[in-house]
Every structure is written in C-alpha cells, then in structure tokens.
Amino acid sequence: MRLNIYLTGVGGQGLVTFATVLGDAAIRAGYKALVAETHGLSQRGGSVDVHVRIGDIDAPLIPRGGADVIVAFEIIEAFRAVDYANEDTVFIVNRRLIRPPMIKQKIPSINELENLLRKNIRKLYVVDAYSDAAKLGNIIYENTIILGALYSILRLNQYIPQGVIEESIKMNLRRDIDKNLRAFTIGLKYGNAK
C-alpha cells in the first residue's frame, strides 16, 4: 500500500490529532507512516496543512499533484489544496464554512461553494461532520467523524483493521473515548454515499 493523504483546514480543527491517530494506526497495522505538519497562522485561525504518507515512502512531504486523497476540514480550504490534486485525487470535504476574519469581500455560501466543487471535481465526497458532531454533543468530535468518513470511503479496512484504528483513538485521544468511538462510527456512513 502507498497512500498520500493531504489534510487541510483551519487552526483548531484537530488536523494534527487526526494525523497522529491515522499514522499511529497505520504503524500498528505494520505499515511505514510519516506525518509532516505545516502551520501558517494556525494559532489565529489560519490555514493548516498536514501531510500523511503511508506505505513505501521515503520523504514526509507530498509533492504537488501527488495527493491520492485531499481531506478538507473546511470547505474554502478545499480550493486552496488543488495544487496537490491530480485527475484521480479523491476529495473528502467537510460541509463547513469558517468565514475569514476582517475580509471585505463577499464570501459565497456553502451551497455555492459545494456546487462549484461538484462541477470541477470528479471524485468528491461531501460530509457534514460539523452537524453530526453538534448532534453528538460537541463540535470537538468533528475530526473523528471525518476520520471515520475517510476510513470508509477509502475502504481502509483492507489494510488497517477497524479494531486497530479504534485502539489508536483510545491511545492518542485519551479523553471522551466513548464519544470519539461513536463519532468514528458515525463517520463510517459516508462510505456508502457520494
């Protein structure tokens, strides 16, 4: 297996935690995994991107055009990540809009942004992790729902048994384990939808 997963989002959305759980699960399943974080103004709500490479890889950074999967935790960030995509890249996009602070330009609505993505991306999965997490009781579970979506959409169960990734959630999150495991299970539903 060789898999390049480019994560993009806004500071505070749990991308680094997501990458830690996924990378740890891959290693527990017997694969090589490298994680590289890059931070912009993440402490002030700026863009964050994290590279996760699993399998037969030698360097931590995904080359431009080399992402097998782009996971956008925020819908505008999906547009910023297109340089890492190719025609076969799968996009998993959270249906959440975080409006940039101090901007004077009109920002399109979530529906307008989603329609634009649907017109231009062949392999697109839109997940509503924010709403699902709110229903679960706290938006903090958003990233674990997205992890479940990624796991089911890519059919990672062929490489990483579900019990292994759940063990990684327990070991790396250490808080609200039951809710995070439920969040992961909620995310699994997205593998059957497009």
Q: What is the pLDDT of residues 14-32, one digit of tens each?
A: 999 999 999 999 999 999 9
Q: What pLDDT shows up at residue 194?
A: 46
The predicted-structure confidence for 120-165, as pLDDT tens digits, reads as follows 999 999 999 999 999 999 999 999 999 999 999 999 999 999 999 9
The average pLDDT across 36-42 equals: 71
Contact in structure between 149 and 127 (CB atoms under 8 Å): yes
Q: Cα(166)–Cα(180) distance, rounded to whole angstroms?
A: 9
Domains of the chain, each with CATH number or no CATH:
2-96+108-190 (3.40.920.10)
- Give me 173's structure tokens: 């999150």
From the number of C-beta atoms within 10 Å of its C-beta (0-12, 13-18, 19+), residue 37 rates as: middle
Going edge to edge, which strands form the sheet with 2-10?
A: 33-39, 47-55, 2-10, 69-72, 90-94, 124-127
Q: Cα(166)–Cα(184) distance, rounded to whole angstroms?
A: 8
Percent of the chain clearing pLDDT 90 (strictly above): 84
The average pLDDT across 75-81 equals: 95
Contacts of 180 (CB under 8 A, 6+ apart): 141, 144, 169, 173
Contact in structure between 52 and 31 (CB atoms under 8 Å): no
Averaged pLDDT of the chain: 93
Q: Under DSSP, is residue 32 helix (H, G, I), strand (E, B) or coil?
A: coil
The predicted-structure confidence for 61-71, as pLDDT tens digits, reads as follows 999 999 999 99
Q: Cα(93)–Cα(171) distance, rounded to whole angstroms?
A: 26
The predicted-structure confidence for 45-65, as pLDDT tens digits, reads as follows 688 899 999 999 999 999 999
Which pTM does this prediction carry?
0.93
Q: What pLDDT shows up at residue 159?
A: 95
The average pLDDT across 186-194 equals: 81
The average pLDDT across 107-124 equals: 95
